[in-house]
Structure 1
Amino acid sequence: MYFSPERNKRFAQRLFEHVRNGTTDQTADMLPYDLSMYADTEIAAAERTKIFEKLPMMALHRSQVPEPGDFVTVQLNRTEAIVSRQKDGSVKAMVNACRHRGATLVKQESGRRNLFVCPYHGWSYAGDGSLKAISFSETFGACRTDERRLVQLPVEERHGFVWIVEHPEGSIDVAAHLGPEMDTLLAEYGLERYHVWRSATFEFDQNWKIMLEGVLDGYHVSFVHGATIKPYFYLNMMAIEDFGHHHVTATPRRAIDRILDEPPGQSPLDEYAVFGNLVSPNATFVLHPHHIEHWTIYQNARDPGRCRAMLRILTPHKHLDERGEAIMEKNWNIASAAILNEDVPVGNSIQASANMPHAGPVLLGLNEVGNRVFHRAWRHYMQD
């Protein structure tokens, strides 16, 4: 069961009520906003400093660097980092650029090394980023190795993920960023027990916020996902636990009819609803019965009308049998069809409207509860 018994019962009570009455959670009022937030270059520049270089990012899952010496290279918003598991079990995050002339130090996506050697002039670094050797040092000249270690980024491992702050002079406190309610919820999930089954990176012709909002949106399923998702769910129906800047939402499957006559909480809801989670500022994941679909979305460094999205599928099993692999392939194909073939074209069209000078203001309705939390969080971060 994903949740604590208490949370499972709370959600069951609310979903049963919504299914019986054809209702959904709603906000107190509507929220008008301007489409320029998706196209304005000044807004995008402010996001880089106030959001992407300041706040903790769910950069990768711990299963991607399970053992000492394991490393991955990960692209943050504008910085590529090396994340390396240390001998004591901790992780280090370092800018993937040699401190001699700035050449990319590691070109592999992942591997196991105790030493990183620059391909340009052979400078070598230990797994913690310390400079170990300068090639032909007798002719290079005097150089303090402690001043030429790889640039370190604030990093913390929590709830099964490696979180990174992109600015080297920043600070990191994931629990404080999440707040006690979201921190407790992620602890309930036990995400540290999961493993990355597959990951992929995509480039889309839309602002990062449009992409994230599309994954959070439950209002559009009837119209965008008629062939892929619509038959399996109650439509325009959602219950939310709102944690201020983060949230978890529950959308009932049609299968919930089988347990409507039970006392709420008697059965785990894992197979009877899907649960969407917003981890502001730029991550969302959806809990399915057999897997977790995790998205992390970044800006395009040069164009506010584009974004880069990382999709990871997490499973509770490190190794899958033939049937398990078939289930995961099916789920990957469903996600691809729903997101890439259905959601993305609509999002691209929103970006096209945002690029117009006179498209006019738009509106979030009372039933768009998940998107409302994201907008609230975004406005808070941009005011800081």
Structure 2
Amino acid sequence: MKKIDIKKADQEKIVGTYARYDLVADSGKGAVCVDEKGKEYIDFTAGIGVNSLGFCDEGWVKAVTKQLKKLQHVSNLFYTEPQARVAELLTARTGLSKVFFSNSGAEANEVAIKAARKYSNNKYGNDINWITTLENSFHGRTMAAITATGQESYHKDFYPFLGNFSYCKPNDLEDLQKNVTDKTCAIMLEIIQGEGGVVNLKKEFLQEVEELCRRKDMVFIVDEVQTGIGRTGTLFAYEQFGIKPDIVTFAKGIGGGLPIGGALFGEKVCDVLGPGNHGTTYGGNPVACAGALEVLTRMDEAFLKEVAEKGEYMKKKLLSMPSVVSVSGMGLMIGVEIEGKEAKAVVAAALENGLMSLTAKDKIRLLPPLTITYEEIDKGLKILEDVLK
């Protein structure tokens, strides 16, 4: 195959929906990415939280390759072992009842929205179908998921949207009460608002949402697309708040780099959807499920404890750096508020010096692989500190 100018081809032939950084990624191992010229970068992005085991983890590669040689796809008209095994693991570890597999977080949120409305329609008729989400939230870019997203910047240019969504202020119990009416069928939220700036929700707010949903027989949906699968130091972040949602959506880190997502359904809603109500050609693909099985098997109690410890280690170091005002998030999902500098400029400068990082609103966002070593953490934080100086 002839050599091409990658950046030129991208700019001329790929729809310009991404403001790419000036890096052509060529290879990687663990938390180190290598560009096409051989320069190494410490990765504090994990592909926006996807590469939970880092680049080219040996166990993950072996599991995926073994499945690739056996069966790469067969569709959901038939049974496959990897899909059944992932479903067994997820339900056993959460106590939730059933799983629907999708390809992405947006698709997972779509099925959650449909299930919530069908639950209410079946039980109470078609008038009770409003869904309350939070301002500053992000649930995806498909039409239902973007409607659920409580940020005007994502809505601009794409009207009209689905009807019957309302938005309440995060952590505001009074505003929650105003938004939830007799027409509301579900409340949907993130435990930590990732794209919204790594904003933590408060325990009392989350518990009040759960109590309200139970009292009014609404469906409680928790979007764990970014917070789930070990990212916050537990398999799902909601486990740390004494709540149990009716539906939990997930994606990103479960595939370890392959596209897979889904929704876990509790007993209340696990039989709402039947044949023909929803579907996907690729969801629960056996190769993606083989990768997910490796990811989930690795995430035992010791692994998750280490994720939490690494997160605390990073937070402590970050708080001692110049220009850092505060640090938010949980585990290895970290938001860094800075003053006197622009987050985008800091991230761009850090990249030049060998560190891949992200932004979220006006914060620096760090989502390193969960397997990152302390040596790699220190190396990445040193680059960030030097840029902030």
Please, what TM-score do these two structures have when normalized by structure 1?
0.30
Please, what TM-score do these two structures have when normalized by structure 2?
0.30
Kindly indicate which of the two structures has a greater share of residues assigned to helix: 2
Kindly indicate which of the two structures has a greater share of residues assigned to strand: 1
Return the index of the structure with the highest Cα Rg: 1
